[in-house]
Amino acid sequence: MLSQEQNQILTEVGPNTPMGNLFRRYWIPVGIPEDMKTKSTKKVRILGEDLVLFRDRSGNFGLVQERCPHRGVSMVYGIPEEEGLRCQYHGWCFNRKGQCTDQPNEPKDSTFKERIKITAYPVQEMGGLIWTYMGPQPAPLLPRLDGYVAENAIRLIGQAVLPVNWLQIMENSLDPIHTEWLHGHYHAYLLSQKGQGFKDAFLREHEKIGFDKFEYGVIKRRVLKGQSELEDDWRVGHPVVFPYTLAVGSGGLGTYAFQLRIPIDDTHTWHVWYNAYVPGPDVDIPPHLQEPCVYDVPYKDENGEFLTDYIDGQDIMCWITQGEIADRTTEKLGTTDKGIIMYRQLLKEEIARVERGEDPLGTVRDPEKNKCIVLPLERKKHHFSDGFESITMRFQTRFAPIVEELIDLFSKAGVK
């Protein structure tokens, strides 16, 4: 249980809040190049700030404050220039650093523009995502996690905007027991109502769970009934990459699966399901699968009811029904909530580190280390024993328009 004040500290992400300052020490995805193919500007709200993501005519992405400093219109309607973005209202132009470079109707010898600078954040592209860093300089390196930089990969990027605070989504990732209930018994109950049976690895009982801090976050471990500590689920586990990413194991396939919880503001989260599939050196990836496949993940049906017949939909139902910002002043935590308690403690410690002027957990500044960060990941994961097709169709990947092709490609590659 937390006090109201403690809950606010951990959930509020706007400028000059303790958690907001911690978030601003990490690179965060802000957009998807595929989404920008047919347009040059996009309104983006991130960490409670309203911004415009744009691609100028040189092909470079930029990220600046949404409001023009002249008369306050939205530059989402701006005109991309060779370098920078021009406001549509009176033509002031801003470069990617936010410096005003042109005020076409001011006197030719005016120095006014030199004194006009707007908020601008650096952006980089990696793995089919556009990333930004909104914190103090010098910026750390953009961490090259294995899944983002894997070569010869087919990339799926599913996305949804969820009307909830980021932290309750992350806490779900520190709560292994829910898989047994929500994705096991609850799913079995739903299917039994339709007269269908359910035999699934998710039903297996947890005997033990464990959490260890490591260089980039927290490793989660579990022992299920009938398993020993020698199995990958305990021995290797899988990580929560601090502070907003879950990386899950993949059952021996050459795949990477990240779930990114990016705070739009205190009550909305951009959820990205990032999957990179590496079918192996013997498989030629057709050209149309070499670009990331971007798609929306639905979580409600046409009647406004939650879609609970797939794993991620079940999770989303629980996150949203906790309320916009989960009320942690009335919760009753039990022994199985030790991962959640640890994560809150870690957040508090890292907030304190940032307040002392130090780099928080997982900050990367060594280019050598950043060539590729290989995350520890169980390769034999208990619920991935059912085969590629079954697994792919039970998760949100079922909504990817190329899912059939992917299954076909992997079955031809001999992956079961």
Given strand 41-46, what is the order of strands in its sheet?
41-46, 49-55, 61-65, 120-121
For residues 180 and 204, the answer to whether their CB atoms sit within 8 Å is yes
Could you say which residues in the range 58-87 bind ligand FES, by CB under 6 A?
Answer: 68, 70-71, 73, 87
Ramachandran region, residue 237 (left: φ > 0; alpha: ψ -120 to 50; beta: rest) = left
CB of 17 to ligand FES, least distance (A): 29
Which of ligand FES, Fe ion, none sits in contact with 71, Cβ below 5 to 8 A by type?
A: ligand FES
What's the min distance (Å) between Cβ of 123 and ligand FES?
22
Compute how many other C-beta atoms are within 10 angstroms of the C-beta atom of residue 58: 11
Q: Which is nearer to ligand FES, 85 or 364 (CB)?
A: 85
Q: How many CB atoms lie within 10 A of CB 152?
A: 15
Give residue for tokens 């960060």: 373
399 binds, among Fe ion, ligand FES, none (CB under 5 to 8 A by kind): none
**Nearest distance, CB of residue 72 and ligand FES, angstroms:** 6
Nearer to ligand FES, 95 or 397 (CB): 95
Q: Rounded to the nearest whole angstrom, what is the least distance from the CB of residue 376 to Fe ion in the complex? A: 20
69 vs 298 by CB, closer to ligand FES: 69
User: Residue 113 binds what, of Fe ion, ligand FES, none (CB under 5 to 8 Å, by partner type)?
Assistant: none
Residue 210 binds which entry of ligand FES, Fe ion, none, CB below 5-8 Å type-dependent: none
* Total number of residues that touch ligand FES (CB under 6 A): 9
Query: Among Fe ion, ligand FES, none, what binds residue 90 when CB lies within 5 to 8 Å by partner kind?
Result: ligand FES
Do 307 and 299 form a contact (C-beta atoms < 8 A)? yes
Nearer to ligand FES, 67 or 398 (CB): 67
**Binding partner at 87 among ligand FES, Fe ion, none, C-beta below 5 to 8 Å by kind:** ligand FES
By C-beta, is 54 or 274 nearer to Fe ion? Answer: 274
Contact 281, 151 (CB under 8 A): no
Task: List the interface residues with ligand FES, window 137-176 (CB under 6 A).
Answer: none
Least separation in angstroms between CB 347 and Fe ion: 21
Helix H or strand E segment including 130: strand 129-133
**Cis bond before residue 376 (omega within 30° of 0):** no
73 binds, among Fe ion, ligand FES, none (CB under 5 to 8 A by kind): ligand FES
**Whole-number Å distance between alpha carbons of 176 and 227:** 15
Q: Is 94 in the site for ligand FES (CB under 6 A)?
A: no
Residue 214 interacting with ligand FES (CB under 6 A): no
Q: Which is nearer to ligand FES, 70 or 353 (CB)?
A: 70
Distance CA 186, CA 179 (A): 10
3-state secondary structure of 307: coil
Handedness of CA 55, 59, 63, 67 (dihedral sign): negative
Nearest approach in angstroms of CB 173 to Fe ion is 8
Q: How far is CA 361 from CA 47, 147, 324, 347, 356, in A?
A: 19, 20, 27, 10, 13
Q: Name which position in 92, 242, 256, 343 contacts ligand FES (CB under 6 A).
A: 92
Stretch in the footprint of Fe ion (CB under 5 A) among 142-150, 218-226, 274-282, 314-322: 314-322
Q: Which is nearer to ligand FES, 64 or 68 (CB)?
A: 68
In 284-415, which residue ranges form alpha helices assigned H by DSSP? 311-321, 338-355, 388-394, 403-412
**Nearer Cβ to ligand FES (6/103):** 103
Q: If you ran DSSP here, which 8-state letter would residue 300 be given?
A: B
Which is it for strands 85-86 and 79-80: parallel, antiparallel or unpaired? antiparallel
Partner from Fe ion, ligand FES, none contacting 315, C-beta within 5 to 8 A by type: Fe ion
Peptide bond into 279 cis (omega under 30): no
Residue 23 near residue 15, CB atoms below 8 Å = no
**Binding to Fe ion by residue 315, rule CB under 5 A?**
yes
State the residue for tokens 């998710």: 202
Q: How far apart are CA 206 and CA 392, in angstroms?
A: 23
Treating both helix axes as pointing N-terminal to C-terminal, what angle do 338-355 and 4-11 enclose, rounded to 10 degrees?
Answer: 70
**Partners of residue 259 on adjacent β-strands:** 246, 273
Closer CB to ligand FES, 100 or 253, in the complex: 100
- Contacts with Fe ion by CB under 5 A lie at 315
- Contacts with ligand FES by CB under 6 A lie at 68, 70-71, 73, 87, 89-92
